[in-house]
A and B are shown apart, each in its own frame.
Chain A
Amino acid sequence: MPFYRNIAAKIALLPMIVISLTVFVGCIIYSFVYSLTNSKLVPVMNYVGFDQYERLFKQRKWDVAVENIFIYGFVFTIGCLIIGFLLAVLIDQKIRGESLFRTIFLYPYAMSFVVTGLVWKWVLNPTFGLENSMHMWGMTWFELDWLVNRDLAIYAVCIAAVWQGAGFVMVLMLAGLRGIDEDIWKSLSIEGVAKWKSYIFVILPMLRPMVVTAIVLIAAGVVKVYDLILALTSGGPGYATTTPAMYVMENFFSRANLGQAFAASIIMFISVVCILAPWAFYEFYLRNKYANN
């Protein structure tokens, strides 16, 4: 393709290219360079090799953070997909008041994660939340201490996140379901396939683009999760619900430990690349290649 083809479009894109090169690539290089220093409150060029990375991997807190992001990523993604799909299927049954239900289920998504976090913080708090109400109604056997139990607190975070994200997946899926041709349903009913079977084995594979879109959008939210946890648990109890993003922010600001923060953010970056690169390669390159051939 000659260079001057679509020259106007290329010129129009130039500012964006310059910004992404300087801001994104530039900052990544900057972060990497300073992750090799022992910068504390201000960045200083004091080379210490890979000490910061060594220290990072020795941190119990970092291990917990990495474990949490995997738990959160898995539960949040799967939870949103399953619940979102189920809700979409249920709404797709030509029910009465569909738009009302759609609004109700999508509504949490309109809220910021901070609000979601605070709401669930009150609901799940054992001394004045749901548990307390149940006790007052006489159901003293009821126990809901997830938020203050260090082993379960991360799942409490997942519940809040799924509550917020499921409605969004539902809308995506519903759009997909509405795009399914009536004839397919007709032929399925002529064949006498059970409804649940047709949804799982026929319709779901046809929704593949929707599922992929949903996964990409959810996954992007997983890596940067910060505000929800800050509002809900502030990383506690102890540091049981801390995440890599929180670890980075903490070291940047309150701990005045820039070198460590840079090292942690570089590791975050590398792991995201490791996870996304093979998939992106497949999705955008290989598939096109096969499709074209």
Chain B
Amino acid sequence: MKKIFSILLTIFIPLSFTNVSKAGSHMEAEVIHWWTSGGEQAAISEFAKAWEEMGNTWIDTAITGGDNARGTTVNRIIGGNPPTAAQFNVSKQFVDLVEQGLLQSLEEVASAEGWRDFIYPPELIETCEFEGEFYCVPVNIHSWQWMWINNDVYKQVGLPVPQTFEEFLAGAPKIQEAGIIPLALGGQGWQESGMFDVVASSIMGFPLMQSIYRDKDLDAFRDGRFESVLNTYRELNQFTDEGSPGRLWNDTTAMVIEGKAAMQVMGDWARGEFAVAGQEAMVDYSCVIPGKEKYVALGGDVFVFPKNDDPKVKDAQLAMASMMVNPTVQAKFNNAKGSLPMRLDVDTSAADACMQMGLDLIQNPDAIMRESDDWNTPAFTAAWGDIISEFRNDPNYTVAQVMDDLEGVLTSGL
């Protein structure tokens, strides 16, 4: 008996000492995120590396799919077992959590480090600020506003690379005759409505979009320009292939890379697929921001830090928030991710031609575009997206009917 006791002592005493000695500086953080593809994992591991270089432990909880990851985060917060940090999109997704007082305010570190002075563009501050306090850390900017075009296809049919949707539509029949799919589109709801918003902004411009999506201005909605967007969208959809329904975005990008399709409308994360395939921007493929007025949309990711009773967790949260906005970490993270950094003083020398276009454009405040989910709840954007998706898939769903149904969503108060 004595022997067992002494063995136990020899095991536990050193353990308890190490715990005490580490408590001062060592911090542990569990991070929930949905970055599971190759490029995404490289990006999140830049955060993990920086965190571990500070002498801390990073517990990685990667969950496939943004919906699942966000669902897990909310469930765990409500269940009383919150993670240290969790990923959300630049949007209204986490507003309820702030309003219920479930998130840690980051104001302490934000005002000490002067976040309001360097976070760019300032619209990102609006996303994170509630009643004068910071509740999230923006980490990157992703824009949907891109057409990805296979240059060879256009060379082959003898057409210039289109710069607008009108030009694309004019050339599409000729591409179809050559046996190539003009428009590669993955028929999943988010891809369909994502492309719709790109068509909408490039045809009717951001100010009008803002008065519809943000102000719910029914006169602006009914002034005829939105209908022309719907018509263009329907025209574009004649040029997709029948394998479209349910296809993943990266499989769709692969069609453009292989030359089976001419063009895809997709966010700037598609660039990673071209890079992996060994293609060079503007040589093998073109990235075009469609429309006469070009915009960069402010999509992207943020991290929030759920409140925890343990004061040590709060220290870890503030330290991590400060680490995420650090310019060196930002440079490494965004180069791996292929997104734009959330501050201008970051080293972007590794940027390719497409990323450079985005970097140049974002410096012009007029070119910065917000997305519907910056103003609207997930319930609203999803209800809206349902109608757009149904409009694309059901040829009997008339423009007039769609206008009525969309008006129903606008006035629903969702």
Contacts and interface: CB of A to CB of B under 8 A. Distances in A.
Interface string B340-384: 000000000000000000000000000000000000011100100
Interface residues of B, number: 36
B97 interface: yes
12 contacts: A40-B96, A41-B74, A42-B74, A42-B96, A60-B390, A127-B242, A148-B245, A150-B393, A153-B245, A236-B189, A236-B245, A239-B189
A130 to B, nearest CB: 13
Contact of B390 (A41, A239, A256): A239
B390 A236 contact: no
A213 to B, nearest CB: 35
Interface of B: 67-68, 70-71, 74, 78, 93-97, 100, 102, 187-189, 241-246, 377-379, 382, 386, 389-390, 392-394, 405, 408, 412, 414
Nearest to B397: A238
A233 B389 CA distance: 14
Given A41-B96, A42-B78, A55-B412, A254 B242 contact: no
Given A150-B394, A236-B246, A44 B67 contact: no
A61 B246 CA distance: 18
A276 B243 CA distance: 40
A42 B97 contact: yes
Interface string A72-113: 000000000000000000000000000000000000000000
A126 interface: yes
A186 B80 CA distance: 69
Given A60-B390, A256-B93, A127 B241 contact: yes
Most central of B74, B95, B241 by chain A CB within 10 Å: B74
B390 A238 contact: yes
A236 B172 CA distance: 26
Give the size range of A's interface with the partner.
Answer: 20 to 34
A106 to B, nearest CB: 29
B249 to A, nearest CB: 13
A237 interface: yes
A126 B392 CA distance: 19
Contacts of A148: 187, 242-245
Contacts of B414: 257
A236 B393 contact: yes
Given A42-B74, A150-B394, 15 more contacts: A40-B379, A41-B74, A41-B95, A42-B100, A127-B242, A127-B243, A148-B244, A236-B245, A238-B392, A240-B394, A253-B71, A254-B71, A256-B93, A256-B378, A256-B379
Nearest to A39: B96
A237 B377 contact: no
A260 interface: yes
A290 interface: no
A238 B188 CA distance: 8
Contacts of A128: 243
Interface string A140-181: 000001011010010000000000000000000000000000
Q: SS class of chain A's interface: helix, strand, loop or mixed?
A: loop
Interface in A28-60: 40-42, 44, 55, 58, 60
A51 to B, nearest CB: 10
B394 A238 contact: yes
B100 A255 contact: no
Given A40-B379, A41-B96, A239-B390, A254 B244 contact: no
Most central of B94, B187, B377, B386 by chain A CB within 10 Å: B386
Contacts of A40: 96, 377, 379
A40 B245 CA distance: 30
Most central of A42, A145, A251 by chain B CB within 10 Å: A42
Given A41-B96, A236-B188, A239-B386, A255 B379 contact: yes
A41 B97 contact: yes
B379 A260 contact: yes
Contacts of A250: 382
B242 A126 contact: yes
Contact of A60 (B67, B377, B378, B405): B405
B246 A121 contact: yes
Nearest to B102: A42
A148 B94 CA distance: 35
Most central of B68, B188, B189 by chain A CB within 10 Å: B189
B409 to A, nearest CB: 10
A257 B377 CA distance: 9
A237 B243 contact: no
